[in-house]
Every structure is written in C-alpha cells, then in structure tokens.
Amino acid sequence: MIFFNKKKNKLRKIYNKIVQQSKNSFFLISKESPRVELTLEFFQLNLIIIIWYMKNNNVQDKYIMYLVKQFISDLENLFIELGGSETSLRKKIRPIVENFYGRLYSYSSTFDLLEKDKKSLSFNKIIKNNFKYKVKSKLLDIYIKNNIFFFGKLKINDFWDMNFDFLNVKK
C-alpha cells in the first residue's frame, strides 16, 4: 500500500504536469482565443499520449485508471465551477467521458501504427473529425508525430522521474 501511495503522488505530479503543459502548448495549434473546451480537448490529447505510453510500457492498469479517474473528477469539478448543477452532472459529463474513451481507443491504435511503421501517417482526418474547434491541422499533426516518436523512446524511469516534456512545434 505504501508503494501505491508513492506512485500515486508521482502520478498526481505527472497529471499536473500534463495539465500545465497542455495549457501552455495549445496556443501553438489553436486558431481561436483561449476557451475551456479547446484547452480540454488539447489536454485530452496529451493525456491519451501518456496513457498510450503507459500501456506500451506495461504500466499497471491501476496507475492508468488513477489518471483517468483524476481526469473525470476534474471534469466534474470544472462543470460545477462553471455553474452547472450537481443534479445534471452525470448527464453532462457522460458524453465527454464516452468521447474520451472513444478517442483513447482510436488514437492509441493509430499511434501504434505510426510508431511501428514510422511512415508518414497523417492525422489530419482524425483532427478534422475529433476537434470541434478550428485548429492549425498541420501543426497539430506535427505535434502529435513528434510526441509519439519522443514518448516511444522515453525510458520508463525517466517517465516516473518526470524527465519529459511534450515537444512543441515551432510556428
């Protein structure tokens, strides 16, 4: 149990790092002014990249689920902070969570193809189908590829020690 608590603290720090770097990075690919929804979509992308990395490196499911539960908890808190009522919380959050799991599945499969084949796979179709808001598709495509290749090579100890940053794209 003590071991899980140590990992839990590291996971909390990793989660916070994902949040902070998502806030800082999404401006690179956004055509819109900052919006909670767009920041949330970009955060989901980065969280999916981390979960994909964890699964590919055989990190225990309980650690992966901890990050997912933290995400859902933050969604619920955000909804309430934005004035939503607790009675409609589940109804409003459920579609976002279902969308997240759908993206997790489809993105992870595509990330696997990209990492294995190292081909010039394009994410433009995925981006157009999954991002409700206007984004700079080419920059986001490069962002995704750079990070998949980076995390594909990241050693697990470096991950747990938080020796990683999402790679940004130069404009």
Span 46-69, pLDDT tens digits: 999 999 999 999 999 999 999 999
Instruction: Report the run of H or E that residue 17 belongs to, with start and end.
Output: helix 2-25
Instruction: Give the model's pLDDT for residue 89.
Output: 75
Q: Which residues are paired to 135 by β-bridges? A: 30
166 Cβ contact partners less than 8 Å away, ≥ 6 residues apart = 21, 22, 25, 46, 49, 143, 147
- 133 pLDDT more than 80: no
Regarding predicted confidence, which is higher, 118 or 18?
18
Sequence-ordered list of residues with C-beta below 8 angstroms from that of 101, at least 6 positions apart, any chain? none
Name the 3-class secondary structure at 44: helix
- What's the pLDDT tens digit per position in 65-105? 999 999 999 888 877 777 777 777 778 888 889 989 998 99
Distance CA 170, CA 82 (A): 33
